[in-house]
Amino acid sequence: MKLFDDFYVYPWTSYQENNCNTIFIDGPVPTLIDPGHSHLFNHVVEGMARDGKSADTIKLIVCTHSHPDHIEALDHFGNGVLRAISREEHGYLQEEGKELFLMSGCQAPKKPLKLFLKEGQLTLGDKTLQVIPTPGHSPGSICFYWEKERVLISGDTVFYMGVGRTDLPGGDMAALGQSIRRLAKFRIEYLIPGHGEMVRGDKPIKRNFELILGEFF
């Protein structure tokens, strides 16, 4: 689904299996954010094809965090594709984060994540994303904010009428609350979560943050 020029969202809408929403940003460095599960990745390939795009052009994959439903499909890509995550999350993946792959019966990615993101800017051609550390759902979770269009890619930190679970290894409810309070201060017109529906409009998004903070924190 095209949201802006060279900016596409491929939501996962099935209730039969868990998988994440995926974002594709075209340009000089074609970039995929959160590829999802390996056995379900074809829905991204098919969605891109409908938009006249090919997954074979992807040069960079960026992960909001390291849970299996967001990164298992990393090994779908060859060695020429750069893989990025926060350094904190990479460390978590090497330790207790491995438990989630064992618990879910998934295969941890074998190909290395070599680019480590930190708070600051990620420039993708004419698009600059702000990298925001948002620990809580996992220790090294990150979100991305595109100021020009006021887009927040929130991973599993915040959803429509919900927040990321913290009962998994590495979860921290207090840290999650701090992260969500930080995100609530941004001017957002499009909230694209890791799961579920996108929220559009400044007022509905502000109301979503208010309800979440009041209910969970």
What digits encode the pLDDT tens for the residues 67-81? 999 999 999 999 999
- Residue 105 is predicted with a pLDDT of 86
- Residue 193 is predicted with a pLDDT of 98
Top pLDDT among 16 and 167 is at 167
Q: How far apart are the C-alpha atoms of 35 and 176, rounded to whole Å?
A: 23
Over residues 134-141, the mean pLDDT reads: 98
Q: Give the phi and the psi of residue 68 in degrees, each rounded to 5.
A: -55, -35
Work out the number of other CB atoms within 10 angstroms of the CB of residue 187: 11
The residues spanned by each domain of the chain are: 2-216
Helix (H, G, I), strand (E, B) or coil at 148: coil
Provide the terminal-to-terminal Cα distance of the chain, rounded to the nearest Å.
34
Does 217 score more than 90 pLDDT?
yes
- Residue 25 is predicted with a pLDDT of 98
- Residue 30 is predicted with a pLDDT of 97
Query: Distances in Å between the alpha carbon of 163 and those of 2, 66, 121, 159, 170?
Result: 26, 17, 25, 6, 15
Over residues 75-102, the mean pLDDT reads: 93
Least confident of 43-57, 105-119, 163-177, 197-211: 105-119
The chain-wide mean pLDDT, for the chain, equals: 96
Single pTM value for the model: 0.96
Over residues 172-179, the mean pLDDT reads: 98
| Domain 2-216, CATH class in plain words | alpha beta
Over residues 132-143, the mean pLDDT reads: 98
Does 104 score more than 90 pLDDT?
no
Does 102 score more than 90 pLDDT?
no
Asked if residue 173 lies in contact with residue 139, where contact means CB atoms within 8 angstroms, the answer is: no
Q: How far apart are the C-alpha atoms of 207 and 61, rounded to whole Å?
A: 32
